[in-house]
Structure 1
Amino acid sequence: MTITKEDELEGLKAIGRIVANTMQAMAKAMEPGMTTQELDDIGRAYLAREGATPAPEASYNFPGAACISVNEEIAHGIPGPRVIKAGDLVNIDVSAAKLGYFADTGATFRMGTVSPALDQLCRDGKRAMQIGIAEVGANKPLNGIGKAIGHFAAKRGYTLIQNLASHGVGRALHEYPEEIATWPNRDKRRISKGLVLTVEPFLSTGGLWADQGDDGWTLYSAPQAHVVQYEHTVVATERGAIIVTQAG
């Protein structure tokens, strides 16, 4: 969507805060021995208390309130009996709707202590997202996002998953400008004032593509490698990006 009025921005900020708080509540509750279904139940209950509807379930009939992906699962993991263990990387992706507004956020969390290399990957994954957000602004080139993230990834010796893109959001979970590459690309479009979009690079230690698993949802890295994802929903203004998925 494109924000044209203050009340639209406030509606977007309201659902943005809800999804951010939901993700943080889930991350705080996460502990070894918990199943991903139990973690999802916490997120579902939080969204329900806030009067919000899980977007993947409502929009695509996804079998869960949130996407929870552990280790080799890099996105769209289905909540279920899998037990979270110490040393796991757990990606929590929460999107929801309220009063006609949609917001989407995600992050990779460490379950306790992980190796120094994985810890650095998480830090750099978050930095890659921040670098992409810095390229969001009215009339800026859309491909500036992928160009900046790609430069950072290459400099640090990482790869980017090149079939999992950012997207427009706001009145639906996925809308114009549809796919927004977070890797170097030749997209000629420019970012319009008020445009609502996600910035969500998938930074990897060698992965290039996401392959779908047998369950029809869960995605895995090809070639197999560690992958992290960090995501915010933002609004493009003449002064840069407003991040609406802020906890608080």
Structure 2
Amino acid sequence: MIKYKSREEVELLREAAQVVSRTLGKVAEAIEVGVTTLELDAIAESYIRSQNAEPGFLGLYDFPNTLCVSINDEVVHGYPRNEPIKDGDIVSIDCGAILNGYYGDHAYTFAVGNVSEEKLKLLKVTQECLEIGIAQTKVGNRLGDIGFHIQKHAEAHGYGVVRELVGHGIGKTMHEEPQVPNYGRRGRGKKIKEGLTIAIEPMINLGTKKIKYLEDNWTIATLDGMASAHFEHDVAVVDGMPEKLSTFEYVEKALAKKK
């Protein structure tokens, strides 16, 4: 059952989402060639706790860390390791936080060092897919409209859209109804109503849409070994229109300072 949120609940969700946005900003400040993803994980956990919040992923479904870190051909759910990030890697950082009983869930894929034009285009198109999906999240549309337009944009560039992993409702639990696929048919699915709060998260592959689980039983990677990108925002329907609860502002400011 979908749990539609009051204005007060939307604001609480926004506060949780903004903790995650600022955390990703801290990650953006630190991420570079030679840094390990375990170091990034420690930075994220420390910052979240400094905000009187709790890491949303740590212990969820027995996940062992604060961040999900997925590199190059890894799609999602990779965990931090004591291995340095290499020049040319793309690194998906997915982060969650709990504040005042509500969850924030937010992701950004970073280009580290000298990244190929092929990968950079994948990141650009995947982020465009996210914005396109958000724009469809309004009263009068259906959930299928979100996935349809994401899929259309990704496939127009020859990319694969992951089917097995989807966006989701968000609130007092990380994963609520409804599921929000990144593919679908226009005009299908549940009607979008006032107070809907969802995490939209396109997972777009440079090659095949097919995926595989790695031996660690967490990390999901592309079947063909080609790169994958992942961007995510928390979104609420307010006055009939989509409103982002999370922001890439802190990430973009941190990255701009490095140029």
TM-score by length of 1: 0.94
Report the CA distance shift for 1:152/1:236 in structure 2 as closer, same or farther (over 3 A): same
What's the counterpart of residue 116 of structure 2? 115
Task: Identify the residue that residue 256 of structure 2 maps to in structure 1.
Answer: none
Counterpart in the other structure of 1:176: 177
What is the aligned length?
246
C-alpha deviations, 1:8-34, integer Å up to 9, x for none?
A: 122111111100110121022112111
SS at match of 2:57: helix
Instruction: Give 1:181's aligned amino acid.
Output: P
- Deviation of the 1:58 alpha carbon: 3.7
Deviations for 1:101-129, whole angstroms, at most 9, x for unmatched residues?
A: 11110011000221111111111110010
Distance 1:71 1:150 in 2: 21
- The reply to whether residue 21 of structure 1 matches residue 11 of structure 2 is no
Q: Distance in 2 between matches of 1:52 and 1:58?
A: 15
- What is the DSSP-based 3-state SS (H/G/I as helix, E as strand, rest coil) of the residue aligned with 2:146? helix
**The residue matched to 2:204 in structure 1 has which SS?**
strand
SS of 2:191 mapped into structure 1? coil
Give 1:91's aligned amino acid. Answer: S
Residues in 2 aligned to 1:193 and 1:73: alpha-carbon distance in whole angstroms: 35
Q: Counterpart in 2 of 1:44?
A: 45
CA distance in 1, matches of 2:190, 2:8: 27
Contact 2:72 2:226 in 1 (8 A): no
Local SS of the residue matching 1:56: coil
Q: How does 1:136-147 map to 2 (within 5 A)?
A: 136-147=137-148
1:134 correspondence with 2:129 = no
> Among the aligned pairs, what percent are the same residue?
31
Superposition TM-score, scaled by structure 2 size: 0.90
1:149 maps to 150
* Secondary structure of 1:157 counterpart: coil
Check if 1:165 corresponds to 2:180.
no
CA distance in 1, matches of 2:26, 2:224: 33
Does residue 2 (structure 1) correspond to residue 13 (structure 2)? The answer is no
Q: Does 1:105 find its partner at 2:106?
A: yes
Structure 1 equivalent of residue 218 of structure 2: 217
The aligned amino acid for 2:230 is Q
Cα gap change, 1:77 to 1:138, in 2 (>3 Å):
same
What secondary structure does 2:58 align onto?
helix
Deviations 1:70-113 (CA, angstroms, capped at 9, x unpaired)? 11222111112121011110000011111111111001100022
CA drift at 1:37: 0.5
Runs of 4+ in 1 over 6 A off after TM superposition: none
- TM-superposed deviation, 1:224: 2.6
Measure the CA separation in 1 of the matches of 2:71 and 2:155: 25
Gaps of 5+ in 2: 251-259
Matched-pair contact (CA < 8 Å) for 2:155–2:161: no
Equivalent residues of 1:208, 1:223 under 8 A apart: no
Cα RMSD after superposing both structures: 1.5
Amino acid at match of 2:227: H
Aligned to 1:234, what secondary structure does the other structure show?
strand
Any unmatched runs of 5+ in structure 1? none
- Amino acid paired to 1:159: G
